[in-house]
Amino acid sequence: MRAKVRAIKHDNKIAFSNHIYRQTGRLIDTHSFYDVHIKRLHEYKRQLLNVLNIIGLYIDIKENPNKEFQPQTFLFAAKAAPGYYMAKNIIKLICFLGKEIENDPAVREKLAVVFLENYNVSMAEALVPAAELSEQISLAGKEASGTGCMKLMINGAMTIGTLDGANVEMLDAVGEENMYIFGLTSSEVDNLWLRGYNSAEFYANNEKLRKIINALNIGFAGESFADIASYLLTGQGVADPYMCLADFESYRTTHARAISDYQDKDKWNRMSLLNIAACGYFAADRSIKEYAENIWNIKRLTDKK
Ligand SMILES: *Cc1c(COP(=O)(O)O)cnc(C)c1O
């Protein structure tokens, strides 16, 4: 049964990659690991934290070309309001990083970064069943609920996430051994703001982060992203307002653990199946029943003959 779960996932990856090939002419390696970050583009949802880690992987591959590396495809899709400058800047970073990697023969077999245009329900219908890792990495305290997290979970993706929004209920349902939880809790976030958050300290104390921020300054595919580097380190008003640097090391090591678990196929398949099974709790019927009882104070109509 576990092997069947994996075979279904692989079929879904093929269907998705065919869909993308028809739509864009782009080939996505179905044997790479599908890491999926799909939701509105917003600073609090921290697509930027994901990108920082990808840049770290890219630097790693360049520095250690002979080290074994699980091929990974990072898929982003998002909507951004046309006036949201920072969101568009992050989309641009994702696109240029993807372009540089694609043009580097030493790296493109191992790493791909794709920003899919026009994220909508049809795209989600192809993408969600193909996902192997679901990125739910908002800064703790910011996501009211989220629904994408559950769609990906019921389709057998593992979740890497913070203790935020519905991730908390998912953790209760599936257990911490079947989910990749990382980062500050919302009370730790509050305390860090009160103490005075200084992102530059995290930069100073983490060699990887320094290399990554430096790479942003130099840029990708001929385009500098020094403005994003200074957003993280000095900011206009407050530096790194969504604490990407504070959560970076925890995110990086947790992501690496997920990739290492993925090498153990049977373990991964088992976790995937347990995630699907635990989703029963998120049925709309249960949820609506609780609303009816606890919030709306209404009774169910009994069936009339
Ligand atoms: C589910 C869904 C969303 C919301 O995703 P979140 O991860 O909960 O923010 C947005 N757009 C589409 C097309 C969706 O299917």
pLDDT tens by residue, 87-142: 999 999 999 999 999 999 989 999 999 999 999 999 999 999 999 999 999 999 99
The closest alpha carbon to 112, from 13, 48, 26, 38, belongs to 26
pLDDT, position 304: 55
- Residue position matching structure tokens 């993280």: 232
Task: Give the position, in ligand 1's atom list, of the atom nearest the Cα of 123.
Answer: 13
pTM comes to 0.96
Ramachandran class of 141: left when φ > 0, alpha when ψ lies in -120 to 50, beta otherwise: left
Which residue has a Cα nearest atom 7 of ligand 1?
A: 148
CB within 8 Å of 114: residues ≥ 6 apart: 20, 26, 28, 73, 74, 75, 76, 98
Q: Which residues pair with 114 in a beta bridge?
A: 75
Q: Is 112:74 a contact under the CB 8 Å cutoff?
A: yes
Q: Which residues line ligand 1 (CB under 6 A)?
A: 39-40, 119-121, 124, 146-148, 151
Q: Looking at the predicted structure, is the pLDDT value of residue 80 above 80? A: no
- Residue position matching structure tokens 């609090």: 44
pLDDT tens by residue, 135-160: 999 999 999 999 999 999 999 999 99
Distances (CA, A) of 125 to 27, 66, 74, 202: 19, 37, 18, 39
Which residue has a Cα nearest atom 9 of ligand 1?
A: 39
Give 117 Cα–ligand 1 centroid separation in angstroms.
14
Q: Looking at the predicted structure, is the pLDDT value of residue 305 above 70? A: no
Give 38 Cα–ligand 1 centroid separation in angstroms.
7
Three-state DSSP at 75 gives strand
Task: Give the position, in ligand 1's atom list, of the atom nearest the Cα of 151.
Answer: 1
Q: How far apart are CA 7 and CA 164, in angstroms?
A: 31
56-161-135-173 Cα dihedral, nearest 10 degrees: 150
Please, what sign has the CA dihedral across residues 174, 56, 97, 63? negative
Which residue has a Cα nearest atom 6 of ligand 1?
A: 148
- Residue position matching structure tokens 């993308």: 20
Give the pairing type, strands 133-136 and 72-77. unpaired
